[in-house]
Amino acid sequence: MVKHLTSFFTRALLALALAGGANTAFAGPMYHFTVDTTNLTGTGYLDLTFAALAGATPATATLTHFTGAFGGTALPTGDVGGDIGTAVTLGNGQTFNELLQAVTFGGLLGFDAAFDIAPGGTIGTGFGIALVNAALDNYVPGTMGNVASIDLMPGAPATVWADAAFVTATKVPEPAGLPLFATGCVLAVLALRRRTRS
Amino acid sequence: MLKQRLLRWSLPLLAMSALPAAVAQTVAIDPATTYQVIRGFGGHNGAGWIADLTPAQVDTAFGTGQGQIGLTIMRMRIDASSTAWATQLPTAKLAKAKGATLFATPWTPPPYMKTSNAIAHGSLIPSYYPDYATHLLGFADYMRTNGAQLYGISVQNEPDWDPDYEGCTWTSAQFIDFIKSQGPRFAGLKLMAPESLGMRKVLSDPILNDAGAAAQLSIVAGHLYGTTSSDYPLARAKGKEVWMTEHYTDSTSDANDWAKAMPVAIEVHRSMAANYSAYVWWYIRRFYGLITEDGNVSKRGWIMSQYAKFVRPGYVRIGATQNPYPDVYVTAYKGGDGKVVVVAVNNGTAQRRVDLTFGSGAPRTLQRYVTSAATNESYAGDYPVIAGGASADLEPSSISTFVSQPAVADLTGSVKIVQGGLTANRFTGQFSGAVSFTNTTGATLTASTLRLVLEGLTPGVTLDNKQGDVNGVPYIALPVNQLAPGATVTVTTTFGNPSKGAIAYTPKLQGITF
């Protein structure tokens, strides 16, 4: 009876692990971005875009932990929800999705970005970071567009580019990976114990 | 006896007299030798000064079908008052929708910015440089937000000409100061200057020799009044394209006067031979223009069409014997669509035979189209290329265009195609993304040219880095012409999408064999 219970428990754990694995197939990478505006003065906007061709594999970007001199004005376009106080979510339901968030230049701006992309499909999504002037009529001096970008492809590693003069992008260990790793360890220990007993 | 002697002597003499017409001269075409990239052939739309082009005339000017010229560039005027800008919009939108490259030229800044405080005469007051840049950018923004994204913008029309109508004089030093200080604001637009009256290098040399100004300048533009086309080695050395942005060969005679039309062919030839990337006529529709007031293509228009309809944007001029006869003028081009185009102008009164020879990449067949006093871009037969060559007789006073006919194979089923995410420029409305092709077969895919074809591209969206169209479908050549099993090649696509709406298309891979 106890053996059957152990077997049932092991199977349940395996099912849980498989479910976790399925979840991680959907989960994409997480990055921490630091945007350096120390050489800029005045105010402007942090321009965050999420863009894809029609029919792209569904993807989302969840942006959290905003730090720095952010202002209250937020100008969203397209599939954008939330706010920088909690979390901003950008989807790729439309080709162009954008959040213009007011900032005061002169310091460091930071935020975390977690990306989820569904498995399958052959059309990716691009995430971009740019800095826009206060008049909203051009990018800030010294830039002509994005200062960092990530190309997200289903079933493939993300491609990250950053203009080192403005942005550092650091990959953050995925939280979803830690419980999966712990589950794996428990399963391995259980399997070893069963072999030892038999 | 005497009769026999006379015959013996006269026959060789007769044969010798016939020699110039019967003996062919060689036109050696070398696709491996390349010169300038061709951006196109176009004209100025005079809306605001003369009647705007009608929609039907836009089709005639920018369409590529029967009875149409195939222009690929349209120039327009930036009025000193923003209240008049709407005048330019309808035709600009129609031309843009037909794939035309748009650029705009100001004749004068707003009067209050000038020393003359009038639309005529004077120069731009330096303290107004930022405001003038804002004025020009305002026009570009107006066109962009209304579906007519500009490719380029000029600083000033004919700065070395001081007429009693709209004008403004500029020195090289003034150009340098303006371009250096305001140039960075024109990101996403090709900044053009100086558009002098006669391609005066004395005006543009100092701009090119100033590192700060040269870095901001994209196109050296100029007109051909009082001068002829000539190479500009300094511009090439600085990596700048040269565009001829306004000229007419004659404004006093009917555009259908054939003798007065032939100089158009010579001028376009010389402009191409001088490494110009664009040739832009003055008023598109005018009694001396490319289209006459009745809306029909004129002889001058048909001559322009011999280049414009076949030498498409993105084509590259290649090596060719330019003057196989003193009165025959030849240029040749190749495109990302695998086509080779040869344009031959016979400006003489005698028929001229030419042997077109190809050192490499010989096509299988050349189709020929001829414009002359009697014909308008008429199909003149297929010329098979045998042992790397084809012969043709060029009629007196005519323009012939020879176009190769490559074979097209659909290789889409042999590759996995992945379309990457897009990066967006919120100000220009340009979206860029990568497309990769992986050979999923066990055999190497080989062609003269491999190209990405974008079928069903969303209306209103343009492929800005296209190398050409086939029946209106844009394409980009891959950087390789072979793809081994399992190998991957990637190309970048840049879309013009001013509305920032959805972009969709079906990617196809085609193999082109000459």
> Are A135 and A84 found together in one domain?
yes
B394 SS3 class: strand
Residues 6+ apart with CB under 8 A from A114: A27, A28, A29, A30, A61, A62, A63, A64
Residues 6+ apart with CB under 8 A from B268: B41, B279, B303, B304, B307
Chain A partners within 8 Å of B182 (Cβ)? none
In B180-239, the residues whose Cβ lies within 8 Å of chain A are 184-185, 187-188
B235 SS3 class: helix
pLDDT at A29 over 90: no
| Closest residue of chain A to B138, computed from CA coordinates | A137
pLDDT at A6 over 80: no
User: Chain A within 8 Å of B138 (Cβ-Cβ)?
Assistant: no
How much is the pLDDT for B360? 74
Distance CA A128, CA A131 (A): 10
pLDDT at B501 over 70: yes
How much is the pLDDT for B458? 96
Q: Do A151 and B497 touch (CB under 8 A)?
A: no
Asked if B42 and B100 touch (Cβ cutoff 8 Å), the reply is: yes
Confidence of residue B8 (pLDDT cuts 50, 70, 90): low
Q: pLDDT for B468-478, tens place per residue? A: 777 789 999 99
Chain B partners within 8 Å of A137 (Cβ)? 137, 141, 427
- Identify the H or E element spanning A94: none
Q: Chain B closest CA to A60's CA: distance in Å? A: 12
Q: Do B427 and A77 touch (CB under 8 A)?
A: no
pLDDT at B22 over 90: no
> Are A40 and A90 found together in one domain?
yes
Question: Do the domains B18-33+318-405 and B408-513 sit in the same CATH topology, yes or no?
Answer: yes
Q: Point out the residue among B184, B418, B504 whose CB comes nearest to the CB of A54.
A: B504
pLDDT at B64 over 90: yes
> Are A35 and A114 found together in one domain?
yes
pTM above 0.95, yes or no: no
Task: Please report, in angstroms and rounded to a whole number, the separation of the first and last CA atoms in chain B.
Answer: 59
Domain ranges of chain B: 18-33+318-405, 39-313, 408-513
pLDDT at B155 over 70: yes
Chain B partners within 8 Å of A145 (Cβ)? 187, 423, 425
Q: Do A124 and B188 touch (CB under 8 A)?
A: no
B72 SS3 class: coil
> Are A13 and A60 found together in one domain?
no
Task: Give the CATH number of domain B39-313.
Answer: 3.20.20.80
Q: What is the mean pLDDT of residues B103-130?
A: 98
> Are A40 and A7 found together in one domain?
no
Task: Give the CATH number of domain B408-513.
Answer: 2.60.40.290
> Are A126 and A46 found together in one domain?
yes
Distance CA B94, CA B59 (A): 8
A54: exposed, middle or buried (Cβ count in 10 Å: 0-12, 13-18, 19+) = middle
Q: Do A95 and B497 touch (CB under 8 A)?
A: yes
Percentages (nearest 5) of helix, strand, coil residues in chain B: 25, 35, 40
Q: Do A49 and B504 touch (CB under 8 A)?
A: no
Q: Chain A closest CA to B191's CA: distance in Å? A: 15
Asked if B139 and B78 touch (Cβ cutoff 8 Å), the reply is: yes
How much is the pLDDT for A119? 87
> Are A40 and A85 found together in one domain?
yes
Q: pLDDT for B335-374, tens place per residue? A: 877 889 999 999 999 999 999 999 777 888 999 999 999 9
Q: What is the mean pLDDT of residues B39-68?
A: 97
Residues 6+ apart with CB under 8 A from B504: A53, A54, A55, B456, B457, B458
> Are A135 and A187 found together in one domain?
no
Chain B interface test: which of A47, A48, A90, A123 (most B C-beta within 10 Å): A123
In B458-477, the residues whose Cβ lies within 8 Å of chain A are 458
How much is the pLDDT for A20? 41
**Token couple for B480:** 């390789």
Distance CA B482, CA B303 (A): 38
Q: pLDDT for B173-229, tens place per residue? A: 999 999 999 999 998 899 999 999 999 999 999 999 999 999 999 999 999 999 999
How much is the pLDDT for A27? 57
How much is the pLDDT for B283? 98
Given the residues B195, B241, B246, B377, the one annotated as active site: B246
Q: Do A49 and B424 touch (CB under 8 A)?
A: yes
Angle between helices B258-273 and B299-308 (to 10 degrees): 30
- Identify the H or E element spanning B324: none
pLDDT at B485 over 60: yes
> Are A110 and A188 found together in one domain?
no
Q: Do B187 and A139 touch (CB under 8 A)?
A: yes
Q: Do A95 and B187 touch (CB under 8 A)?
A: no
Q: Is B246 annotated as catalytic?
A: yes
> Are A95 and A130 found together in one domain?
yes
- Give the per-residue SS3 of B171-223: CHHHHHHHHHHHHHHHCCCEEEEEEECCCCHHHHHHHHHCHHHHHHCCEEEEE
Distance CA B390, CA B388 (A): 7
- Full residue range of the structural domain in which residue A103 is found: 28-173
- Tell me how crowded residue B140 is: count the other CB atoms within 10 A of its CB: 23
Integer angstrom CA distances of residue B488 from A113, B436, B482, B483, B485 = 29, 7, 10, 7, 9
- What is the Cα A125 distance to its own chain's centre? 12
> Are A19 and A62 found together in one domain?
no
| Closest residue of chain A to B498, computed from CA coordinates | A96
A43: exposed, middle or buried (Cβ count in 10 Å: 0-12, 13-18, 19+) = middle
Integer angstrom CA distances of residue A154 from A60, A121, B101 = 12, 7, 36
Q: Do A132 and B424 touch (CB under 8 A)?
A: no
> Are A191 and A163 found together in one domain?
no
Q: What's chain B's Rg over C-alpha atoms? A: 25
Q: Point out the residue among A77, A123, A145 whose CB comes nearest to the CB of B425.
A: A145
Chain B partners within 8 Å of A124 (Cβ)? 418-421, 433
Chain B partners within 8 Å of A152 (Cβ)? 421
Question: What total of structural domains would you count in chain A?
Answer: 2
User: Chain A within 8 Å of B412 (Cβ-Cβ)?
Assistant: no
User: Chain A within 8 Å of B111 (Cβ-Cβ)?
Assistant: no
Count A/B contacts: CB-CB distance under 8 Å.
Answer: 91
Chain A partners within 8 Å of B188 (Cβ)? 144
Chain A partners within 8 Å of B500 (Cβ)? 77, 95-96
Percentages (nearest 5) of helix, strand, coil residues in chain A: 25, 45, 30
How much is the pLDDT for B257? 97
Q: Which CATH superfamily is domain B18-33+318-405 in?
A: Golgi alpha-mannosidase II (2.60.40.1180)
